[in-house]
Amino acid sequence: MGRLSGFHYSDIIKRLRKLGFSFRRQAAGSHEIWHSISSGRYTTIPHHPGEMPEGTLRAILKQAGIDAEKFLKA
């Protein structure tokens, strides 16, 4: 297990809000689109129960242009 394992949807959303992201719209199924006005970047977040797989969280952060250290400090 890496440093980015064990996060739930609510934990991820709280940290993304602190980093300037806000809910934009509902996407297909249980996915949501989040947007940062300051960076102009979008990211897709799956709204599933349980822990988010580490690879999925890394992909979300890559889309958002956020490095892991910045995410963990938020």
User: What are the structural domains of the chain?
Assistant: 9-73 (3.30.920.30)
H-only helix segments in 1-74:
9-18, 54-64, 68-73
Beta bridge partners, 4, equal none
Q: Which residues contact 56 (CB under 8 A, 6 or more apart)?
A: 46
**Model confidence pLDDT, tens digit, residues 20-65:** 999 999 998 999 999 999 999 999 999 999 999 999 999 999 999 9
Q: What is the pLDDT of residue 21?
A: 97
Q: Which band of pLDDT confidence, cut at 50, 70 and 90, is reported for residue 2? A: confident
